[in-house]
Every structure is written in C-alpha cells, then in structure tokens.
Chain A
Amino acid sequence: MGKRYAMVIDLRKCVGCHACQVACKSENNVPLGVNRSWVEELETGKFPNVSRHRLPRLCNHCENPSCLNVCPVKATYQLEDGTVLVDYDRCIGCKYCIAACPYDARFINPERNTAEKCTYCHERVEAGMQPACVNTCITGARVFGDRNDPNSEVFKLLATQSVAVSKPETNNRPQTYYIGADEKALRPNLLEIVGGEK
C-alpha cells in the first residue's frame, strides 16, 4: 500500500496550551486573525460535576475531500499521500471550497486573497521532518505519520486505540483521529471557553 498521511491526536494528553496554533503561525507565516491550526475548548456540566473538552483542529486531509471537486479552477488538489494542497497561483478566491468544507478548516488569506489551510507542513514532511504543530506539541498529543506503515506511531495508535473522527456522516473520511474525544467536542466551532468569539 502507498503512503497515506494521517494525524492522531491523543486528547488524554492535550492540555489545551495552543502551542500547535502558535507554532503553525510562526512556521507558516499565517496572518493574524486566521488559523490553519487551532484549539477549541468546551466546558460542560454543573458544579461540581464539570468536564472540559479540548479539540485541536486542522484540515483533516480527507480521503474524500468535499473541497476538491467544487473548485472551479482546480486550484485544490490532492497528492497521492493524501495531502490536500492549494495552488495559490490558480486560486481565484471564490470561496466555494470554504463553503464546502464541513470542518471550517479553510479561510481566505487576507494578504494574498487566496484560499488557504493546513498543508501538513508539506515541505517539512518532504524533507523528513514533522509538521510544526506536531514537532512542538509539548505533551506529544499530536502524532503524524503514514497510516499504512506498520512501523509508524500513527499505525500503532490506530491499531491499538479507540479513535473517533469529527462528523463521520459527511462521508468526507477525515484523517484526523482523536483518542479520548467526547462526542460533544467533536462538533467544530463550539462555544469556546478560552478565547475567541462565540
């Protein structure tokens, strides 16, 4: 089987520190106000029975990405390893892909006026390094690798842990797998307990 990149996020370890978000900004020069990678949080329950859910987010590099076919100029494309990328020279900024993505993973880069999202730090991965968010994740909650390689940490986690994905009903087949996720938290764009607008 060929290479297929995926990310596993172990929420038992995540402390919701946002290091992934800032590392992505720094590595990829993402402008203020938009994010390729971010963390959502939700606090639920009634005192003293309270729980806190965290959901680090990024483009899910879906098997069946709904952003791909809506692009009128074929700016969005998918590599054989599953990475979904945007050709910024072709993109006309029509936002069809943004509307099509069920995960709100895309945005218009205000500096460039083209659609943009997580690239799995493609250039780093090609050079044998980890995506910046994975590299910096202080608890090691984010794990990236080849889902089809039995020696990869991603393969091992998928083989041994119970995982969940966000919105499986879309048939997008997202490739971000969460360990220990709460059903309530798997819906993107939650009321955020920490930061941001509701």
Chain B
Amino acid sequence: MKTTRRNFLRGAAALGATMAVAPLAFADSVPKGVPSWKQGAPAEDTLDTDPSVSFVYSTCLGCRSDCSLRGKIKDGVVVKLDGNPYSPMTADQPLPYTTDPKEARKYAGKLCPRGQAGLQILYDPLRVQQPLKRVGKRGENKWQAISWDQAYKEIIEGGNLFGEGNVEGLKAVRDLTTPINPEAPELGPKANQFVFLAGRIENSRSELVKRFVNNSYGSINWFEHTTVCEQSHHIATANTFAGKGHMKPDFENAKYILNFGANYGEANFPMNGLSRKLGNFRVKGGRLTTVDPRFSVSASLSDEWVPILPGADAALALGIGQWILDNKRYDKAFLEVPSKEAAAKKGEASWSDATYLVRSDNGKYLRGDDAGLGGTKDDYVVLVGGTPTLAGKADAADLFGEANVNSVACKTVLQLYAERTKEKTLDEYAKIGGIPKEQIVRVADQFSSYGKRAVADFYRGPVQHTNGFQSGRAIAILNLLVGNVDHVGGYQSGGSSLSYMGDKNGKYQVAKLHPGSVKMTGIRISREKAKYEDSTEFKKNSYPAKRPWFPLTGDVYQEVVAGVLDGYPYPAKILWLHMGTPAYSIPGVKDKVIEGLKDTKKVPLFIATDIILGETSMFADYILPDVTYMEQWNALGSPPTILGLVADVRQPMTHVFPQAKSVENIFIDIAKRMGLSGFGDAGFGPGMPLNKEEDWYLKLVANYASQYGKIPGSTEQEQVKYILDRGGVFDAAGAYDGNLMKNKVASLCTLYAEKVATTKDAMTGKNFEGIPLYKPVVNAKEQEIKDDGYPFIATTYKQSFQTQTRTIACPWLTEIQPENFVEMNDEEGAKLGLKDGDMVKVSGATNKNGVIGKLRLRPGIRPGVVTASVGYGHWNYGSVDTIIDGKTVPGDKTRAKGVNINPAMRMDDSIGYVCLEDKIGGSCSFYDSRVKVEKAK
C-alpha cells in the first residue's frame, strides 16, 4: 500500500472506493508521503507557530470529561489535538484570559491519550456517511443509502415503509389530546409514545432536543443515560448536600483523601485535571487511601489499599462511623450547630441536621407546629439539655437523645445514625467487607486525624449496586462527621460556570423564547419522578407494581428500555436512540434487549442517530449520520474538581462527511417540516429564527458574554468572537474565601434523608430507609440474590485509553492494548488450575452461555472477584461487514477483540428486561453479579 502520512487516513482512502455513497470529503487533502528529513530540521509536522496552520478552540469528548480542546488545522485537515492553554481544565497555570490567540500558539494545554486519539474518531472511514434505511429484517446489517429528504418524509409520514405493513410516523403519533389509556388518563396523551433515549447527550445539545421532544412535539419521554453511569452517586450526594449532586475534595489543600471506588488517573472525570491535581497532592505529601477490590491506579498511588469485597462499602463506611462516634473523633462544634445563623457564628457556611428530632411514627422531622413550641411547619426541633426547642433558637443542641413530644416518640438524627452504626460490630463489618477489623480501625483513625482537611470521596464503584444509594450516603455522611463541607481542603462543590441558557440574567433566556410551547403531561415510560400511589394501577392493584417506580431519581436508562420492551406502563410506538448502546452497556440483558428491539410489534419504528453502526443502533430501521464532537457545537460547564470559572464552548473544527448532520440540525429540520413551535423563521419569536444550529449556539455564547460582563468588544458579534477564539470563558482566580471555598453549599446538609424515608417502594409498599444501611444484594422484589455455585463477583472498570465504546475506532489506543482480559487474582487462578492467557468462560445464573475472554492473572485483584475493563468485545462498531446498496463494506476485525462481560451479569428475572437495580438512586447494578469462571472448551 502506498505510503501516506497518517495510517488512519490511509485506511480511509482505501475504503473510499467501496463506500456506496459520498466521496470522502478529505480525500483531496491527504498529504502525500512522509516529509523527508532535512539537516538540522527533522520536522515531521508543521509547527504550531507556523502561520500556515490555524487553530480551533473547542471541547473534547474522548471520554466524559469535556476537557478544553484545541485542534490544529493544516490545509483543511485537523492534524493534531491538544489541550486549551487558556483553560484550568487542561493547564495548571493557564494563560491569562486576555492573552492574544497569536501568542497562545506557542503554548498548548494537556490532553490524555483518548483526547489525542480523537482524530481517529473524526476520520474513521467506517463512520455512517449518509442516511441509511434497513433492507431486510432488523439487525441483518443490510442497508440502503437514502437522501435526507426521503428519510425525513418516511419518519414523519410513516406508511408501509418496509413492506411489513403500516408504520405510524412522527405525525400520526403526535396526538396531544387522546389519552394512551382512557382508563388511566394520568399516563398522558398518545404523543408520549414517542420516546427519545440518549446515551451521551451533552449540555446545551440536550436542551435543544428537549425543546423538540418535550415542548414542541409534546412527549414527556426524553431521557439520557445516567443510571448506567453513576446516578446513585448523584442522588446520594444531592440527598446529603442540599441538592448538590457532585462534590469533590479540594485537592490543592486536602491532607487526606479516602477514595471509595473512584477511578482516579483512569476514568473519574475530569480524568486529565484530576490526575494532575492528584499528582500534586501526592508530591506535597497528601495521604491517600483507596477502597477498591481492584488494585487500581488510585490504589497504586495510595498509602493504603483497602481491597474490599464489592458491595460492602456501606459496611466499611458505617464501621468507620461507629469508630468515630465511639472515639469521639467527630467535629462536635460543627454537628451541634442547628441553623444557618448559629453556623455563621462558628465560621461555618453549612450546618447539619445531626441534632434535629425525627418522628418515629411517620419518619418526618419533627416540625415547629407539631411540637407546641409556637413554631411553624418550616421550623425544625432540637433538644437543648433534653428540652425540645426550635432549631432557630439554639446556638448548639444535643447530638444524642430521645424525647416524647406530644406523645410522639422522637430521636435526634445523630442518635438514629449511631444506632444504625451499632447494628453490627466492627468484626461483623470486617467480615462483610472481607477485610481485617484492624484495617477499618486504622482507616477510621487516619480519616479522623486531619480535622476538616480529610475527605471521603466516591464515585461509581460503591454505587452501581442494588444498595448503591445507601452506600453512597454512608460515605457522604463521613464528611459531615468531620465537618469538612465548604472548607478549604474539604469536600466542596467546585468552581463556577455561566448559564448558557441565560436563565438568570443572560441576554437571551432561551428556554422562554419559545412561542407556542407545548406543556408535556403524563407519566414517563420509566416511571421516574412519579409516585406509583398516584396511578390508576395502584388504585386497582395496590402493591406490588408490575415494575418498580422511581420517584426519587431520573434518567433511569435501563427502565426506559425495559418500559418500551415490556409495554409498561404503556406501549411505545417510536423509539429514537441517540449516541447510546443499551444492548452493549446494560448488564445482563444483551440478548433480551436485542430480541426486543428486533420485534416490530414492541418497537414499531426505531430511529437512531449515530456516527457509526453501533452495537444497538445496528438494529434500527433508520440510521441518521450524526457528526462527531469535533464537528459540533456545545456550551458546557466543568466538573467540581476544577476550581475557578469554566464556561466551555465546543465548536466545529471541520466537517468531514458532507451528508453527516448534527442532531440539532436534524431536529430543526424535522420541526420545520412538521410545523412545530419553537423552530423556523420565528422560532425564538418574531424576527428571531431558529433555522440552523448556529442560531441556537451563538445565542448561548452571547449569554456567556452578557453574564461574565468582562468580555472586550462593543458588539455582541465581537464579544462572541473573542470567546470562540479562546474556546470559552475561563477565570482560574478566586476559588477561596478565607478558610472556606468561594463557592459553597451553604445549606442544611443531612445525615437523614427525609424525602427518602417518607417515600414508598412501589414493589413492597414499605418506606425506604432515611439513615443509610448495609444490605445484601436483592432483586426488585427485595428477595436476596445468592446464586450459590457462582463463586466470583464480576466487576468492570475503565482504563485511561478506552472509554465506553467510541474509542475502539482509534488504532493509537488499541495498539496500547489490543484486547482486554478477564482479570483474576494470580494465586486463586493457580489454585483453580488456570493459567495466564487461558481462554475462559464467564457465566452467571441468568446467562449460562456466558462470555469468553482471555485470562490475566495478577496479584492486584482481590480473591473472589473477577474484573474486565470496558470498551472491548464489540459485535459491531465497524467490526463486521456491512452491506450498503448491495455492496460489502469490509469490517475492521481488530475492533471486535477482547470481551464485554456485561452480558454475563445478572438479569433481574423477578421482573425481566433489566439488570439488578437500585430502586432509590436508579442505578444499574454492575458489581453485584455472581459468576463462575471455567476454562473455555
């Protein structure tokens, strides 16, 4: 093969001949040959400082982090990706925001391998390049290329699209008045039978699509994927820290970090900035303890590794809590403060409910109007020297105690928490966790030895369990015991951003600029954010519901799919899947999901927007080619690890395939064709069109300018250009406010989750627990899952050089590690007679056929656990041959290497169609499945 400059471009050029449609846009600009070396200047790429190259500042999406990105462009080809030197996301010492972009050429920010390799996603020749319509049955991977006009017409109008009978299109399903089920009108109108489900959909993109789905089309069913990620972490955090769903240690100033299952240095986002802060923390002498059954990167950089059994995090956290209470190592001064005013007197911004009385009869806090103390329903009640007192009237209150108030038995929250921690002994907690009791004591001692500069952090590991919400809460509460919230070196809510939607004081309050907006009504197909007790079904059948309801969480990805396939609480008619792959991602149900999606009775019309034929989108009726993140717009904030102001912009660096279209432009086109409100020539109002994505995004960027107030330029256009020239608005300064963080929770933080304690489980009719507890693995019907005969617990993790699915298209990444492994403790493997490199079968109680992968034996896996990294084991994503217009596009088989062990995990067969799940936080259980591992035959 002829030598070309970049190997992935070589692949692209070769494939160009076989693709049915759309000549490769970049074929003409492929540089020819490796530049020959010249004496004294072995230059192989044009330098960043060369005037012939240009830069586009944007935002990465090589993983979830949204690092600030800069693309280097030469002759129309993006030749290199770097970090943005202006942004604290990608630089420890970012350039001053006022630095001239010409000067900024000399500097580049930092970018991880996934980010660097993004070029190979952009120029992947196996991307979908034209709208595709299935030929033959769903999933046969045979397609015809069609025009956008045909695609729109068929999707909107419906008809006998596949020679299989009539299919209702978007127009027919959009009925805003007829109830889906007249006997259960609360489910809402027929328009709700259009379901939009995204895997990843970025901020500001999500608002535009919500505008279409919720407020123009009128369906309530817009979802993203969060429960397949770490939703229970967010819900647990929000139920502890006054609605803040994501907190992080102040890495710059913390002295001790107790990390429960957050994948620092590999995936926990922002992986790039967090790794940098972790390195600085370690070099400055910060102590780190990592709780993880795998010897993770974080564990390897720790002073102590706690190789806990999966699912036992709550046991460890409650054991630590017990020891801290018994040894009086808690921050008494913080915990006994009952109000904002009293907290302020002690230099605290936040305060806790530790002293508040909770009623034993109904699980609510005792309120001022219950207690006969002359208070209102907004007043909490505490004990001062044993006497009930309004919280607002005390500077300090009793931490422990109980009282009968108006013949209602009450206890303080800390009393309830202490009793909960005492339900088991440290020996019992140690046994559950599979770790020595001495280790619990040592960690508790360490954690409570650094005052407010010790932080208990967590992410996905402890929460993707059936008991995930409670485990997350048990960990989050440790921070309240040491009183670190809002403190320098403590647990903090992170930097700030600007509201791209202009909600507060932006120039364009975009959500309100929607004349003729439709009000969505009804029950979501996932039964989230709704109470079963309000349904007709409850009135008829009482408990249990057919499937769980999720009043305390949202974006319950696996239950959207299950709801569609189970037709519960109503059947769907159109499923639109965007950048998502439930069959690959959701544990335990690969075959069920595929079987269901192939069934045209269950899913009469299935549309996907994707950049490639994905593991799930390959079963769609239509695939509409989306653009990659290097070709699209977005306006985004930053995660809480990064302090200071970050208001990122994503903007197109190029547009590789002319027929690919952003999902924004697709929905704009469809809305205009259907004559829906909020889009078109007067989409935002008279004289304010929404005809293309720029009409949306330039307003969002203008909102940055109007809110920041310090952007030079006399016109909106000049200011927007100033921001785009730097990839956003950044201001690293001003993160601290004396001993406190500048951005604060500054609210009541709760050891007791009152809302949870007063909400019923639709499957049992019993209230959830307001104080966290350890619970063994259960199914939706609360039956314990034992799965005897399956001796291992299966887990997964993410490496620094793969992300969920898209990075498998990057040869620079796959050559680091072409395949992943089934990883097992070396001594345990040897006992089983297994050898490193053996092919092994991993199977479980609901998937006896299991999955097959290559074994890797290593000391850094806890015995009794097997794990496999994610991102491998693809059955499509370009790995198989595809037929387009009768011609074969050969697949790239290297993308099929390795193993995805999610399908071997456990299905909840008590309700079907889903993995085991957390009914409070909604998370999928990824780390509870018992499996066996045997040599593959």
A residues adjacent to B (C-beta < 8 A): 10, 12-19, 21-23, 25-29, 31-33, 43-48, 50-52, 85-89, 111-112, 119, 122-124, 126-129, 135-141, 193-196
Contacts and interface: CB of A to CB of B under 8 A. Distances in A.
B800 A89 contact: no
Contacts, number: 179
Contact of A138 (B45, B110, B813): B110
Given A17-B112, A22-B113, A112 B34 contact: yes
A47 B307 contact: yes
- A-B pairs with lowest CB-CB distance, top 6: A13-B279, A15-B265, A195-B817, A52-B300, A139-B279, A17-B800
B695 interface: no
A120 to B, nearest CB: 10
Contact of A26 (B119, B280, B817): B119
SS class, residues of chain A in contact with chain B: loop
Nearest to A128: B106
A137 B42 contact: no
B113 A111 contact: no
Contacts of B278: 15, 139
Contact of B111 (A10, A19, A25, A123): A19
Nearest to A191: B836
A196 B816 CA distance: 7
B82 A136 contact: yes
A5 B119 CA distance: 31
Nearest to A39: B816
Contacts of A32: 7, 811-812, 815
A23 B858 contact: no
Nearest to B856: A193
Given A12-B279, A17-B275, A196 B860 contact: no
Given A15-B265, A47-B860, A52-B860, A23 B116 contact: yes
B289 to A, nearest CB: 13
Contacts of A27: 44-45, 80
Interface string B276-315: 1011101100000000000101001100010100000000
Interface of B is mostly: loop
Interface residues of B, number: 68
Interface in B84-123: 92, 106, 108, 110-113, 115-117, 119
A126 B812 CA distance: 27
A21 B859 contact: no
Given A140-B276, A194-B817, A12 B39 contact: no
B812 A22 contact: yes
Given A52-B295, A123-B42, A15 B301 contact: yes
A136 B42 contact: no
8 contacts: A19-B110, A22-B113, A25-B812, A26-B80, A46-B827, A138-B111, A140-B276, A194-B799
A17 B801 contact: yes
Interface string B245-286: 000000000000000000011100001100110111011000
B440 to A, nearest CB: 14
A101 B932 CA distance: 46
Contact of A88 (B37, B108, B860, B863): B37
B816 A21 contact: yes
Interface in B804-826: 811-813, 815-818, 825-826
A28 B526 CA distance: 49
A29 B45 contact: yes
B807 to A, nearest CB: 11
B47 interface: yes
B41 interface: yes
Interface in B37-74: 37, 39, 41-45, 47-49
Nearest to A111: B3
Nearest to A45: B859
Contacts of A19: 110-113, 115-116, 800
